[in-house]
Chains A and B, each alone.
Chain A
Amino acid sequence: MENFLPVLLLLFFAVCLCIGIYTVSHILGPKNPNASKLSTYECGVEPEGSARVPFKTHFYLVAVLFLLFDVEGVFFIPWAIIYRDSLKEGTDILIAGGLYMALLVLALSYIFRKRLLRLH
C-alpha cells in the first residue's frame, strides 16, 4: 500500500494540472460567442437532426469479444510470472497453460470459422 502513495500524489498533481489548464485558458481566452459559432460544425452544411441516432451493432459485437478475450489474455499474465519458477518443479504448469491456450485458440478459431468479425 505504501507503494501506491506516490500514485495518489501523482493523481493530485494531475488534477491540479487539469484545473490549471482550464483556468488559464478561460482567463486568457476571449469570450464573444455568436449563434453560428455555437452551432454544430458539420463541414458548413446545416446539421440534419441530432447525432444521437442508433448505431451499427457491429461495434458492440467487437466490444463484447474484446471483453471476453481481454479477460482470457489478462489471466495469462499471472501464469507467465510463475512459469519459469514452476518449471523447476515439474511440467504441471506447462499442462495448465496448454489447456488454457487450447481454449483460447478454440474460441479464436470459432470466431474465424463463423466470420464473426466481417464488416458489411
Chain B
Amino acid sequence: MDQFDFIVLAVKTLVILVLIIQVVPVMIYLERKIAALIQDRPGPNRVGPLGLLQPVADALKLLMKEDPVPSNVNKFLFQIAPFLAVMPACLSLAALPLGDFFEIGDRKYLLQIADLNVGLLYIFAIGSLGIYGTLFGGWASNNKFSLIGAMRSASQIVSYEIPLALGVTGAVMMYGTLSLREMVFKQSGLLLGVLPNWGVFYQPLGFLVFFVAAFAETNRLPFDLPETEAELVAGFHTEYGSMSFASFFMAEYMAMTTMSAVMTTVYFGGWQIPYLSDEALFSMIGSRNILALIQVAVFFTKVMVFMCIYVWVRWTLPRFRFDQLMKLSWGNLIPIGLINIVLTAIGLYFWDKR
C-alpha cells in the first residue's frame, strides 16, 4: 500500500462516515413528515420549501443551546456518555458494503471501509458497546428517572442481543461466510426463475426474528421503554441538553441505519438490483464508476425503505409493558431462532444432497 492508496482510503472512510451521518437529518425530516401523514396533519412546513430546511434549523438550534452540567452529577462520566453512544455507532459502519468497487486509473477500490472476514460478528460486537452510553449516562445523571431508564434499556438491549445473533445464524449457515461482501455476491441471480435470489426467501423465520430484535436493540417504539415520555420523562437522557442530547439522538439514528443496512445486506441482496445483474448493467452503461454510484443509490434506497418501516411502526403500534417485552425475547424470539437453526440445518442437508 503506497501513499496514494492511503489517501484514497482516508477520503473514502470520511466520505462513507459523512454519508451515513447525513441519513440522520433526512430521517428527522421524513419521520416528522410521515408522522404528520399518519396523524392527518401538515407536519413541518415553515422552514424552506415543504419544510425541507427543518432539520438544518433543528441542528442549529441545538448547537446554539446551553449545555448545563447539573451540580450533583458525576461530571466526567456525564459529559463523556453521549460520545460513548456515538463512537460505537460510527465504528460499526466499517463492515457495511455500499457497493462493489470504483476505479481511479487502473486501481480498484472497494466501496466499503474494510472488507472484514468477521464482518457480521464485528458489527454485533461493536454494536453491543452502545449500551455503555446509555448505562453511564443514566447513572451519572444522578436522577431516578434516568437510572430506571438506563437499567431498563440495558436489560432490554441485553435480552434482544441473543435473538439478534440466533436469527442471523440461519443465514450464516446458508452463506458459509461472515463477510458481508461475499453474502451480497451469493445473493445474485434468480430463485426458481421468478424471485430475486435474496436471503429473505430462504430465511423468512430468521428474518422475522432479526427484524423484531433490531427494533428492540435500537430502543425504538414499540420497544422504547427506556424513554417512555409519560412515566420516565425521557429516561436516560432527561438531564441532557444541547448537543449532548443531540449525540444520543444521532447515535440512535445511526444504529437504526446500521441495522437497516445489515438487513439489506444479509436478507435483501445488498446493492444489487433485482432482475438485473451487475454485469448486464455494466454493459449497458460502460463505466465502472457510474455503476458504483448506481449501486450506492440502490443500497441507500433499500436502507431508506427499512427506515420508513421503522417510522411507520413507531406511529402504528402501542408500547409494550416491561414483562411482555422480556417474555417476547426469552419466550418467543429465542425459541423461534433455535427452531430456525434446526430447520435450516435439515433443509441444507437435503438441499445439498440433491
Query: CA separation between A87 and B354, bound complex, in Å?
Result: 13
Task: Give the interface size class of chain A.
Answer: 35 or more
Digit string of A34-54 for contact with B (CB within 8 Å is 1, else 0)?
A: 000111111100010011100
Distance of A52 Cα from B9 Cα, bound (Å): 46
Residue count of chain B within 8 Å CB distance of chain A: 82
B266 contacts across to A, CB distance below 8 A? none
Contacts of B87 in A (CB 8 A): 11, 14-15, 18
Judge if A63 is at the interface, Cβ distance under 8 Å: yes
Set of chain B residues within 8 Å of A50, measured between Cβ atoms: 72, 142
Is the Cβ of B176 less than 8 Å from the Cβ of A9?
no
Tell me the bound Cα distance from A95 to B10 in angstroms. Answer: 47
Question: Is the beta-carbon distance between B115 and A18 smaller than 8 angstroms?
Answer: no
When A13-B13, A73-B165 are in contact, do A63 and B155 touch as well, CB less than 8 Å? yes
In the complex, number of A-B residue pairs with CB atoms less than 8 Å apart: 204
By a CB distance below 8 angstroms, the chain A residues around B70 are 38-41
Contacts of A26 in B (CB 8 A): 67
Interface centre among B141, B243, B244 (most CB of A within 10 A): B243
Residue B151 contacts which of A40, A55, A80 (CB distance < 8 angstroms)?
A: A55
B309 interface hit (Cβ, 8 Å): no
Mark B137-151 against chain A: 1 for CB-CB distance below 8 A, else 0.
001011111110001
Contact B335 A108 (CB under 8 A): yes
The yes or no answer to B311 lying at the interface (CB within 8 A) is no
- In Å, the complex CA distance between A84 and B79 comes to 48
Interface residues of A in 20-78 (CB under 8 A from B): 21-22, 24-26, 28-33, 37-43, 47, 50-52, 55, 59, 62-63, 66, 69-70, 73-74, 76-77
In the complex, the 4 A-B pairs of residues with the closest C-beta atoms, listed nearest first: A25-B243, A14-B90, A18-B83, A80-B172
List 15 contacting pairs A-B, 8 Å CB cutoff, sorted by A.
A10-B17, A11-B87, A14-B87, A14-B91, A17-B17, A22-B79, A25-B242, A40-B239, A43-B233, A51-B147, A55-B151, A63-B154, A83-B173, A108-B335, A119-B323
Q: Chain A: residues with CB nearer than 8 A to chain B?
A: 2-7, 9-11, 13-15, 17-18, 21-22, 24-26, 28-33, 37-43, 47, 50-52, 55, 59, 62-63, 66, 69-70, 73-74, 76-77, 80-85, 87-88, 91, 94, 97, 101, 104-105, 108, 111-112, 117-119
